[in-house]
Homo-oligomer: A and B are copies of this chain.
Amino acid sequence: MQVTGTQLLGSQDVSGTGTEFHAFDPATGETLAPAWRSADPRQVDQAARLAEAAFASYRETSLEARAAFLETIAQSILDLGDALIERAMRETGLPRPRLEGERGRTVNQLRLFARVVRDGDWLGVRIDRALPERTPMPRSDIRLRHIPVGPVAVFGASNFPLAFSVAGGDTASALAAGAPVVVKAHTAHPGTSELVGRAIRRAIQQCGLHEGVFSLLAGAGHDLSLALVGHPAIQAVGFTGSRQGGLALMRAAAARPVPIPVYAEMSSTNPVFLLPGALAARAEDIARGFVASLTGSAGQLCTNPGLIVGLDGPDLDRFVRLAAEGVGAAPAATMLTTGIARSYQEGVERLHSHAEVKPLARGAAGTGPAPCQAGLAETTAQAFLAAPAELGAEVFGASALVVRCAVPEDLAAVAHALEGQLTATLHLQAGDDDALASGLIPVLELKAGRILVNGFPTGVEVCDAMVHGGPFPATSDPRTTSVGTLAITRFLRPVCYQDMPDTLLPPALRAGNPWGIVRAER
């Protein structure tokens, strides 16, 4: 398959008419062919209307047909072969093993949602049978199922060109829910996006689905994004990116004549609390694990551990010394874009020049156009508590700040001062640290979607129990997750049917349970 630089509007390839842009190799600075021209408002409208036209048939596909479609997409992505990995490497600067791993995750995620679709639990069927003899009033027969909210707009993320992009988690969960998807490709990897988009299109054709089930728009600038979110056919939005970007989409969605939900994953510093027993027992191991988690993928992960909170003392000193050595020895890395590299460098400089912050280490400086030089610094709990928004702000990349607590109570005070997070981590020694941990966990539950013990938050398992979400500003909506099978609920709404004849009911609700799904019946 070729990258042609066109918009994928249903089954049609159409050239944009807006601003020209190219992909860019962040390792070499080379501009990559072909050129794209941004989608224009008419094309946004066309993609959204195609999705609307596809909705009626796609939302009523059988469980088996929809599951097979997701599996066909997975196979179709694999069928792209090495061309996909090579294009993604050039567009993102990410190494081959990382991208091959990410492709595996993307494909497994689609297959996992196929299992979820087949199970049918997502329909959330509830049946209250008629009680004609009840007094004073008989009860009607009432049956509930969930249906998809409507076409969904998905914004690809720069840092996961496969797993959080065109066929990533948002697309997989929306398609699983029965919602057609219009993806806005991230401009940092348009060729990768187009290849994956063509794979989805091929799966649509193989499965005989309506062409409007999927479209892919590419374009530079915010107008395209706002036009997509503002389109009346779009009923929900999935986004992973910057806080500024997420807030802009939230505002646009709330200002529509008919407001729609936005699931934006935005920013998180993923605090790691080092409890005294754990530090005493294994400061070295923790430091090693931390440096690996901090510097992997040049720190460009939403769960990157950017804040380390520990109780002052010789064990924390030991951790800090080893962590600083590790960060100091970190090789130069390539970031996804020159813009991200510039923001990172500015963020680290701002942090390290703060009056209350002591720089501890910088890694090797890079030479390319988008270098990442790892950074570690420290401050005190007192200073942090005086300026939590400033010192607790995410620096996207391999930068972390150690917060030294003078007394154990500072640990909880720092936890209380945090903004919403995707994750919070505790390193603890069973027994020794239980009292401190028991005090912190209730605070952290209100701050984060996932609480980990004795691990690091990077590396998010795609499973049934995963929560990749959390209170604002980690996400726009803490009631959901963007990773794991629970994500399907984001694109569903309940509808109930009262006294409807069996022949008119959807199969999931009919007498005899023809789909053989789990139904809560009373």
Residues of A within 8 A of B (CB): 56, 60, 126-128, 137, 139-140, 142-144, 147, 149-150, 250-251, 254, 258-259, 261, 420, 428, 430, 434, 437-438, 441-442, 445-446, 448-455, 459, 461, 463-467, 469, 471-473, 476-481, 486, 492-501, 503-504, 520, 522
Other-chain residue from B149, B469, B471, B501 in contact with A478 (beta carbon distance below 8 A): B149
Complex Cα spacing A203 to B502, Å: 44
CA separation between A469 and B494, bound complex, in Å? 9
Q: Give complex CA distance A461, B134 in Å.
A: 12
Q: Are A504 and B126 in contact (CB under 8 A)?
A: no
Tell me if B142 and A461 are in contact (CB < 8 A).
yes
Q: In the complex, are the beta carbons of B479 and A149 less than 8 A apart? A: yes
Question: A139, A259, A428, A465 — which one has the most chain B CB atoms within 10 A of its CB?
Answer: A465
| Cross-chain contact B504 with A139 (CB below 8 angstroms) | no
Nearest Cβ in chain B — how far from A8, in angstroms?
26
A–B Cβ pairs within 8 angstroms, 22 of them:
A126-B465, A128-B464, A139-B463, A140-B452, A142-B463, A144-B486, A150-B446, A250-B254, A254-B254, A258-B420, A258-B473, A428-B501, A445-B495, A450-B496, A451-B497, A451-B500, A453-B497, A453-B499, A466-B496, A467-B494, A467-B495, A486-B494
A501 CB contacts on chain B under 8 angstroms: 428, 430, 453
**A503 to B139 alpha-carbon distance, docked (Å):** 46
How far apart sit A149 and B127, CA to CA, in the bound complex (Å)? 28
Query: Which residues of chain B have C-beta atoms less than 8 A from A471's C-beta?
Result: 258
Q: Is the CB of A494 within 8 A of B449?
A: yes
Which residues of chain B are near A459, meaning CB under 8 Å? 137
A467 touches B500 (CB 8 A): no
Q: Which residue of B lies closest to A146 (CB)?
A: B479
A461/B139 contact (C-beta < 8 A), A446-B150, A467-B494, A494-B467 known: yes
Residues of B within 8 A of A127 (CB): 465
Contacts A452-B499, A463-B142, A477-B261 given; indicate if A486 touches B126 (C-beta within 8 A).
Answer: yes
Chain B residues within an 8 Å CB radius of A60:
442
Establish whether residues A454 and B496, one from each chain, have CB atoms under 8 Å apart when the complex forms. Answer: no
| Beta-carbon contact of A453 and B504 below 8 Å | yes
Assess whether B259 is in contact with A450, with CB atoms less than 8 Å apart.
no
Nearest 6 CB-CB pairings of A with B = A467-B496, A126-B465, A144-B465, A452-B498, A142-B465, A128-B465
Can you name the residue of chain B whose Cβ is closest to the Cβ of A449?
Answer: B495
Q: Are B461 and A520 in contact (CB under 8 A)?
A: no
Report whether A450 and B250 are in contact in the complex, using a CB–CB cutoff of 8 Å.
Answer: no
A151-B465 Cα distance, complex, nearest whole Å: 25
Q: How far is the CB of A256 from chain B (nearest CB, A)?
A: 9
Of B126, B437, B465, B492, which is within 8 A of A496 by CB?
A: B465
A503 contact set on B, CB distance < 8 A: 430, 434
9 A-B pairs besides A144-B465, A144-B486, A149-B478 with CB distance below 8 A are: A128-B463, A140-B452, A140-B455, A258-B473, A437-B504, A452-B497, A452-B499, A453-B504, A481-B494
Residue from B56, B143, B259, B453 in contact with A500 in the complex, judged by beta carbons closer than 8 Å? B453
CB neighbours (8 Å) of A428 from chain B are 501
Q: Which residue in chain B gives the minimum CB-CB distance to A494?
A: B467
Residues of B within 8 A of A420 (CB): 258
- The answer to whether A498 touches B453 (Cβ under 8 A) is yes
A261 CB contacts on chain B under 8 angstroms:
477, 479
In the assembled complex, the CB of A109 is this many whole angstroms from the nearest CB of chain B, namely: 15
Is the pair A476, B142 in contact by a Cβ cutoff of 8 Å?
Answer: no
- Of B139, B496, B520, the residue contacting A449 (CB under 8 A) is B496
What is the bound-complex CA distance between A481 and B493, given in angstroms? 9
Give chain B nearest CB distance to A147 CB in angstroms.
6
A434 to chain B, nearest CB (A): 7
Question: Within the assembled complex, what's the spacing in Å between the Cα atoms of A362 and B396?
Answer: 67
User: Is B150 a contact partner of A451 (Cβ separation < 8 A)?
Assistant: no
Verify B259–A476 contact, CB threshold 8 A. Answer: yes
Contacts of A522 in B (CB 8 A): 463-464
A179 to chain B, nearest CB (A): 12
A441-B504 contact in complex given A254-B250, A453-B498, C-beta closer than 8 Å:
yes
Inter-chain contacts of A56 with B (CB < 8 A): 442
Q: Which residue of B lies closest to A496 (CB)?
A: B467
Name the B residues within 8 Å of A144 (CB-CB).
464-467, 486
- CB neighbours (8 Å) of A251 from chain B are 254
On chain B, the residues within 8 Å of A499 by CB distance are: 452-455
